[in-house]
Chain A
């Protein structure tokens, strides 16, 4: 009975498309699309603001003064805090729940924008724009990503891809920003941006906690429904995951989900229904959870994540420069970039859809894309004319889009949704290190070798190194299972 309930819940996002399933299931499916929509908006806003910072750069320099290096610090703080702040945000998220965190994030970004209009010096801007916006972005992104993972269980890859396609729309924001600056000056533009960001508050309200669906499903839960509603989201989430993992074990016999977690929880349930939430509270992780750092699966994932991010950022920076050194005009070079951007968007959607068909484990696709991307990068130095470079750009965009869309689904597959916050937080932290170190490293490579060829070879090498860790995944899962059985032994006996 409960398992069927779990399965029905799985099909909600798909049923929502039909829109014909009765009452609550349609609502639940509708909320899933709402979450995807919110994540889409977050991507648009976050990426848009990060990319248009360059336009503000000039205005800041003229009015507020300060050297070019000082002003660029603001941008670096902003984009690096987005990643580096993730572990802290993960803690907040688990404490307060996603919805409040997201609203806080939107508030931080909006407040930072408004505060920046009063800026008179570069250090002021560093804090008001850099710090506040960076932390706000981290909050928004983490809450939205985890909520998407929690809501869209079957169609996670596709939903993730749809949300990520928001990044493709950011090319519209740059001319819009320029227009605003011409009309209102940079202060007025920041004011209006603050308002636009506040729009994320109602869309954050779409991140309804998953728990409220659960009580209707099982009769066992009815008795503590009252108490469940009152308790915090994290605990009820653990409760709701019982059913979904049950359903998942049925549906996804192919994938070895965190079966250890599933087994532990099902045993806990057999003990007693109502007392489950209290024990769960004790069992759930301490506030700043360092356990991901000791988990081999996490190491596998982070290794791959780090190198794939390095492989992603570097060619993007140097593609145009390389085109220029080969004698291609800047019009054609920017054409390259736009084609690559559109291809990436389309490829993300395709890859997400394909991954959701569950023909094989998601990380197999991930590995495949990375390997192909790495080979493409290694072959790039052979591209010396515009058509060849265009082919390279398209191929690279296809593979990049492919693996980028699968990052979140692969992480969810590896660690499950329950612990997603801490894992995602730390993974983002390490990705942030790559993001911060990547561009200077690429620049250094160019200065050292005086040619862009090296950067592409480096990116190709990174892309080939990163999937190596996935070969250890099956053995890591077995190790985890053994460890969990060892831990369980004493409690059962």
Chain B
């Protein structure tokens, strides 16, 4: 199996070559297929067969297979794909009222355009930054990188976001998750710890006062003893 990444129109040649250890197989029938559709192939050399393709649009992308039928059946697959977009695995954590920056990168290939979508229920709604300019800012930092800045976060902004890169030969999406927390969320453990600290301070303080009192009592007794001795 092989994955081939294409971002713009190209002519490609896919060839299947039979390994020498199989050359004993006779009467081989070779078929090149895309799905159910058979494609005419060229017998380049004695043990290799290839097809030539002109990829102009998305319709020609997909999986191509070459099958050799003889005593055994051997096949190989080629996957023609648009470039993958890198989103983020872990959710981005941000707080209410803050600004969140979501970054999408295209690996190696330059997309024609970027579009951002937010998920509302099961629908994907495109984010229009000119319409909601004080909420969303979309920046194309470089040819391969796009930033979506969301200002004044609220809990409603929590959810899944998609960045879509448009290539000549198709579109590709990257997934990002945004988590918006209210300020109370980390504040609770913090206050719990502060309470514990205050309690500990109190305990140490009380113990000190108690032991000082004990010392004083012991001191007074000792002084009394010494005075008696003298």
Question: Which A residues lie at the B interface, using CB under 8 A?
Answer: 23-24, 27, 62-63, 181-185, 187-189, 191-192, 194-196, 198-199, 201-203, 205-206, 208, 212, 215-216, 219, 222, 225
Contacts and interface: CB of A to CB of B under 8 A. Distances in A.
A184 B187 contact: no
B86 to A, nearest CB: 14
Interface string B171-198: 0000000000100011101100110110
Given A188-B181, A195-B189, A196-B193, 18 more contacts: A23-B218, A24-B218, A182-B90, A184-B181, A185-B95, A188-B185, A191-B186, A192-B190, A195-B194, A195-B197, A198-B193, A201-B201, A202-B203, A205-B204, A212-B212, A212-B215, A215-B219, A222-B226
Nearest to A185: B93
6 contacts: A62-B103, A182-B91, A182-B93, A191-B186, A191-B187, A219-B226
Nearest to A205: B204
Nearest to A216: B219
A62 B92 CA distance: 11
Contacts of B222: 216
Contact of A184 (B185, B193, B194, B196): B185
A215 B203 CA distance: 25
Contacts of B181: 184-185, 188
B223 interface: yes
A208 to B, nearest CB: 7
A50 to B, nearest CB: 21
Contact of B190 (A182, A194, A219): A194
Contact of B186 (A27, A184, A202, A208): A184
B200 A195 contact: no
Contacts, number: 75
B208 interface: yes
B94 interface: yes
Given A182-B90, A195-B189, A199-B197, A27 B211 contact: yes
Contacts of A206: 204
A12 to B, nearest CB: 15
Interface residues of B, number: 32
Interface string B149-181: 000000000000000000000000000000001
Most chain A beta carbons < 10 A, residue from B186, B211, B226 = B186
Contact of A188 (B90, B93, B101, B211): B93
Contacts of A222: 223, 226
Most chain A beta carbons < 10 A, residue from B90, B193, B203 = B193
B188 to A, nearest CB: 10
Q: Which 8 A-B pairs have the closest CB atoms?
A: A188-B186, A185-B93, A195-B193, A202-B200, A205-B204, A195-B190, A184-B186, A202-B201
A165 to B, nearest CB: 23
B87 to A, nearest CB: 14
Interface in B41-98: 90-91, 93-95
A62 B197 contact: no
Contacts of A185: 93-95, 181
Contacts of A196: 193
B227 to A, nearest CB: 10
Most chain B beta carbons < 10 A, residue from A184, A185, A206, A222 = A185
A215 B223 CA distance: 11
